[in-house]
Amino acid sequence: MKLDEFFVTGDPLIYGADVSIILSMIGVVFVLTKYKKWGWLWKEWLTTVDHKKLGIMYILSAVLMLFRGGVDALLMRAQLTMPETEFLDSTHYNEIFTTHGTIMIIFMAMPFLIGLMNVVVPLQIGARDVAYPFLNAVSFWTFFMGAMLFNISFVIGGSPGAGWTSYVPLAGNELSPGPGQNYYLLGLQVAGIGTLLTGINFLVTILKMRAPGMTLMRMPMFTWSSAITCIIIIFAFPVLTVALALMTLDRIFGTHFFTMVDGGMPMLWANLFWLWGHPEVYIVILPAFGIFSEVISTFSRKNLFGYKAMVYSMVIIAALSFVVWVHHFFTMGADASVNSFFSVTTMAISIPTGVKVFNWLFTMYKGRIKINTAMLWSLAFIPNFVIGGVTGVMLAMAAADYQYHNTYFLVAHFHYVLISGTVFACFSGLYYWYPKLFNHKLNETLGKWSFWLFMIGFNVCFFPMYFLGFAGMPRRVHTYAEGSGWFELNAVASVGGVMMGIGFVILVYNIYYSIRYEPRLTTGDPWDARNLEWATPSPVPYYNFAKIPEVRGLDEFWRMKKEGKKDLDLKKDKLEPIHMPDYSGVPVIMSTFLFISGFGLVFEWIWMGVAGAIGVVITMIMRSFDPDEGYHVEVEEIKEIEEHVRREEA
Amino acid sequence: MRIFKPLVLGSFLLVFLSGCSALPVLDPKGPVGEAQKDLIFWSIALMLFIVAVVFALFTFMVVRYRERPGYETHEPEEMEGNIWLELLWTGVPVIIVVLLAVPTVNTIYQLEEPPSSTKEKEPLVIHATSADWKWFFSYPEQDIETVNYLHIPEDRPILFKLTSADSMAALWIPRLGGQEYNMNGMRTELFLQADEPGVYNGRNANFTGEGFTEQRFKVYAQKPEEFQKWVDKTQEKAPKLTKDKYDHMLLPGHVERQTFSSTHLQYVDHAKNAEYTVNVRERLGYDPEEESSH
Amino acid sequence: MGHTETIDPNKPLEYQTEKSRLNILGFWIFLGAEVALFATLFATYFVLTGRLADGPGPGELFEIKGVLIETFILLTSSFTCGIAIHEMRRGSKKGLMIWFGLTLLLGLGFLYFEIEEFIHYVHEGATIQTSAYWSSFFTLLGTHGAHVSLGIGWMIMILIQVARHGLNTTTTRKAFIISLYWHFLDVVWIFIFTGVYLMGMVM
């Protein structure tokens, strides 16, 4: 392979990206060296097993990926604003929508939510960390390395361009040879390991590490949603693992699972992909439902309406999510009976979802609704998500779907549910839990500006797309003819896209601004909230709880406050030494080897793939022989820390 | 939030002002598209009802119970839930789903058959074969093959037999009705019909890579007599499709409209022979690796 | 973590600490994910059954003798593995090591016959690249075989640790978990034996 084939060449956009990547890397190295922060970076962050720090790193990476995916989106809008534009050729356009979709789902939505789960779940259930802190670090680093592997494709080797669904035969070797599609396979494979481990880790954490008295039906709703999400992950992700592995075998080792020749069966890919892909949709929406439940309840100053119904409806949604996958390809010519079955199961999902919407509405009933940025994101979710939901029901009707399928109607629908569901939830959760991590709020004025710009921009961008669908515009076309009647609506959509972009920039600026100028808090409970995460001081001591709370019902912290009880009385309460896990450099090193192995396989350099795999095995063996006994925090030290953080509160 | 309603209403107004004619899916010219349009409008009506209920409740809650001057000290009471309310908002959606499911299932079965309005007429069989990035239409009875356009008689059901020479495509003629996939090594079937003469846009709706955007064709629906004239003329004047010519057209790329007085079905049926294209490309020295790394 | 390190002496050694209990539960859940993984591979195998291109079919190549030997060896290894855990519960380090050692040998024996079998197929013209059917066959069995290989390596590591540190809460937990894994691979094999070999020979 020649060097000019290795590096992507010939496009000024790519050169621009090359330069900016190199400059920012030099910048980071310079700052770290100048302020002698390398040791700090290694000791405090790269080796950490603390769920809160891992959560912060997840969220940071997700915001970075949101930026990357957002730039992709704006490039697409730029190309589509006017008819017959030649800003991007079809190959580039194809690569951009492929990476946009993949990054937003796998490397943005999921890690953002998993990041929030990391921060919040152990605190909500009164635990000192997750069940397997070391594994948690492995999860993060495999996700991160997977994301990096996928992202370097656009400067080294070329990006995948067969759509985020990667349908074969198009995505197979016969029609798309070269490293691009391999990046998709290996990047997702590496990141998928981390997701599966997270699923197991958090399920055990939630099942086994709840504070005494917290029965299942006393768990906060976000914890419930996380638990159910974990179950979906555990059963859905292995399917993706297999599907990706089979396509990798096809492309690199010449097997015939999905090929056109020698008996391969392309339809099998579509089935396997969506057998994972549809549950995946619920993996990114159920935690969002959990976040909305927390935020709406807190800022209505009321408990959640119909708690049990909320739990059961999530269980039903999770179960149904495994029996609807065929609705992604009603047009594949299955029997009328098959299409009818999957139509009805899909529509059935709207019933438990509707129950949830009405329960949120009635959570506000007779409440006192405090409207701030966190609550605005949650409030905006309801009407927007309902629009996405009802159009989802329309798509579920197979006979009508033959007209909607592969059009902008579909594009509009899934952006309505994924943005107003998942993205709004991520932002809502970020504003809501941010003070817990950093001891200051995010600025409200900037927050509201970014909310209104983003939310209105979102509607301006995606609502016209429903009509583009009716107008017969298929998704994934890189341009359209003059006189096709699609220009006006596309132009409007692009305006909305720009508004969303500005809203996002303000949100990021708000983080910077708030770090510098927002007043520090004097309480760990700035929102007068209801669950145990707010019982801890902010920022949370690394062991979370000096004394594990006793739980007597739902919304335990609310009850404690009403009864005027303090969570910790340093004079009276008897403290015990706390056992904590050691930090470890193994996860980041192991994941780096995975990255090397994946990178080798992308270019079909088998020696490099094997070398990386050997590295992984060696680090695993090292880990197995590591006694990993952890250490104890002595009572004196706990008292000192607690006095310090609580002095400011008093 | 108050901006939603004007936005929604405005958009609907926009549509109805511009008339549905700009929206082919909502202004079909054949019974298949008509059945789908009826289903779509029925679902929009029911969905608007749900949207109206939720938006009204939402507005009420937010306006009535938001913290505002004179309402800062209200301390809300805890509420567990209400079994009757919850049964209500479980039951009503169940009814709505039933109201949608019944016509949906009916229509699904109905679309498997030729349209009932012309059921006494023998359907015209057309094999529609997609290849990167073009369309072949073979009329086995007439022994005609067209590339990137087709003629059909009006008021007669057309039975499209779909397959693909390579990547998965979808035949879609929005004014006539919904799409169906073309798959290599597979045969799918789709009934469509035009009720009035006209020129309709058809295209591949399913992403097939580099040349996907231009993978389009025109449908000329004609009165039966005129269609017959076209058939006669084509049989007389158009050249035969040779195997060599067909094989070369299987190389990825775009081709001009073409007409032949014989079909490629005598050489290959891609629904039965999935490997044909790969072998042809290899024989003709086409190297996808070379092509993709430009 | 951060759980209190209370030892519960009424439970078997591998269940005595909270960490051990968590790890064992987590491993059970991991096996649930493995079930999903193998189920997908089986589904793929069944979907692609009969798609032979121009290659040979399973009925022509499968030989019951080799398969029965493999099955017998693997089932026996599951038995010896069970005895090893029984010995561990009796507190016999030596018993555990002997029976685990035997399990290891049987595992290696299984691999030997499986590789032998694969070589036979390749000589008969059925490789992973021959047809969709053989791709799915080799991938399903190869994944199982890779699991067995991994299990062997893992068991060796644990034997080293038991030899060094004797039986304590940590080593017994690790030994117990590898035994779960080993039994699971046995169960998968039973499905392979019936679903792949018996049905393949009938067809």
Please tell me the distance in Å from B237's CA to the nearest CA on chain A: 32
Please tell me the distance in Å from A41's CA to the nearest CA on chain B: 40
Higher pLDDT among residues A635 and B20, named by residue: A635
Pick A400's closest partner by Cβ from B40, B94, B166.
B40
- Asked if residue C160 has pLDDT above 60, the reply is yes
DSSP state of A7: B
Residue A212 sits at the chain C interface (C-beta within 8 Å): no
Decide: A460 and A496 in contact? Cβ < 8 Å: yes
- Asked if residue B16 has pLDDT above 70, the reply is no
Residues whose CB falls within 8 Å of the CB of residue A168, separated by 6 or more in sequence, listed in order: A247, A250, A258, A259, A264, A266, A269, B168
**Tokens for A376?**
């605005």
pTM above 0.90, yes or no: yes
- Asked if residue B292 has pLDDT above 90, the reply is no
Pairing of strands B144-147, B134-139: antiparallel
Q: Do A361 and B58 touch (CB under 8 A)?
A: yes
**Tokens for A161?**
């361009």
Q: Which residues of A touch B71 (CB under 8 A)?
A: 368
DSSP state of A583: P
C-alpha B127/C-alpha B269 separation (Å) is 10
Phi and psi based region of residue A310 (left: phi greater than 0; alpha: psi -120 to 50; beta: remaining): alpha
Residue C37 sits at the chain A interface (C-beta within 8 Å): yes
Q: Which residues of C touch A137 (CB under 8 A)?
A: none
| Full set of structural domains in chain A with CATH | 46-584+628-649 (1.20.210.10)
CA nearest to A545, candidates A630, A623, A645, A414: A645
Residue B8 — very low, low, confident or very high, per pLDDT cuts 50/70/90?
Answer: low
The per-residue pLDDT for range A308-363, each reduced to its tens digit, is: 999 999 999 999 999 999 999 999 999 999 999 999 999 999 999 999 999 999 99
How far is C-alpha B22 from the chain's CA centre? Answer: 16
pLDDT at residue B1, rounded to an integer: 46
CA nearest to B206, candidates A244, A82, A485, A170: A170
How far is C-alpha A98 from the chain's CA centre? Answer: 17
Residues whose CB falls within 8 Å of the CB of residue B11, separated by 6 or more in sequence, listed in order: A463, A464, A467
Q: Which amino acid is at C14?
A: E
Instruction: Give the nearest chain A residue to C131 (CA atoms).
Output: A262
Decide: A645 and A537 in contact? Cβ < 8 Å: yes
Q: What is the largest CA-CA distance in chain A?
A: 79
Task: Provide mean pLDDT across the span B238-261.
Answer: 96
Residues whose CB falls within 8 Å of the CB of residue A467, separated by 6 or more in sequence, listed in order: A489, B11, B14, B15, B23
CA nearest to C181, candidates C41, C77, C46, C71: C77
Residue A261 sits at the chain C interface (C-beta within 8 Å): yes
Rounded (10°) CA dihedral A450, A454, A455, A461: 160
C-alpha A142/C-alpha A139 separation (Å) is 5
Please tell me the distance in Å from A380's CA to the nearest CA on chain B: 7
Residue A253 sits at the chain C interface (C-beta within 8 Å): yes
Q: Do C1 and A579 touch (CB under 8 A)?
A: yes
Q: Which amino acid is at A207?
A: L
pLDDT at residue A15, rounded to an integer: 80
Alpha-carbon distances of B256 from A379, B136, B237, B270, rounded to whole Å: 54, 12, 18, 22
Residues of chain B above pLDDT 90, percent: 84
Instruction: Give the nearest chain A residue to B213 (CA atoms).
Output: A477
Q: Which amino acid is at B40?
A: I
Residues whose CB falls within 8 Å of the CB of residue B274, separated by 6 or more in sequence, listed in order: A260, A261, A264, B184, B185
Alpha-carbon distances of A200 from A52, A193, C24, C28, C68, rounded to whole Å: 18, 11, 12, 10, 36
Pick B93's closest partner by Cβ from A344, A350, A371.
A350
**What are B169's strand-pairing partners?**
B182
Residue-averaged pLDDT of chain C: 93
Pick B47's closest partner by Cβ from A366, A394, A469.
A394
Q: Which residues of A touch B45 (CB under 8 A)?
A: none
Sheet containing B169-173, strands listed edge to edge, beginning at the edge strand earlier in sequence = B149-153, B216-222, B198-204, B169-173, B177-182
Residues whose CB falls within 8 Å of the CB of residue B127, separated by 6 or more in sequence, listed in order: B136, B137, B138, B139, B140, B160, B161, B162, B163, B263, B265
Instruction: Give the nearest chain A residue to B274 (CA atoms).
Output: A260
* CA pseudo-torsion sign A590, A591, A596, A602: positive
Q: Do A177 and B94 touch (CB under 8 A)?
A: no
Residue A475 sits at the chain B interface (C-beta within 8 Å): yes
Pairing of strands B149-153, B216-222: parallel
Q: Which residues of A touch C25 (CB under 8 A)?
A: 204, 207-208
- Which residues of chain A carry a pLDDT beneath 70? 1-3, 10, 647-650
| Full set of structural domains in chain C with CATH | 72-203 (1.20.120.80)
Residue C31 sits at the chain A interface (C-beta within 8 Å): no
Pick A263's closest partner by Cβ from C132, C139, C153.
C132
Q: Which residues of B touch A91 (CB under 8 A)?
A: 210
Residue A369 sits at the chain C interface (C-beta within 8 Å): no
- Asked if residue C2 has pLDDT above 50, the reply is no
The per-residue pLDDT for range A73-88, each reduced to its tens digit, is: 999 999 999 999 999 9
Q: Which residues of B touch A367 (CB under 8 A)?
A: 65, 76
Q: Rounded to 5 degrees, what are φ and ψ at B172?
A: -140, 120
Residue C202 sits at the chain A interface (C-beta within 8 Å): no
Please tell me the distance in Å from A593's CA to the nearest CA on chain C: 18
Pick A397's closest partner by Cβ from B39, B93, B180.
B39
C-alpha B294/C-alpha A448 separation (Å) is 47
The interface residues of chain A toward chain B in range 374-433, judged by CB-CB distance below 8 A, are: 379-380, 382-384, 386-387, 390-391, 393-394, 397-407
Interface test with B, best of A470, A555, A603 (most B CBs within 10 A): A470
CA nearest to B267, candidates B292, B249, B293, B294: B249
Alpha-carbon distances of A334 from A112, A329, B177, rounded to whole Å: 37, 9, 18
Please tell me the distance in Å from A518's CA to the nearest CA on chain C: 33
pLDDT at residue A267, rounded to an integer: 96
State the DSSP string of B128-146.
EEEETTEEEEEETTTTEEE
Decide: B261 and B144 in contact? Cβ < 8 Å: yes
Pick A263's closest partner by Cβ from C26, C133, C161.
C133
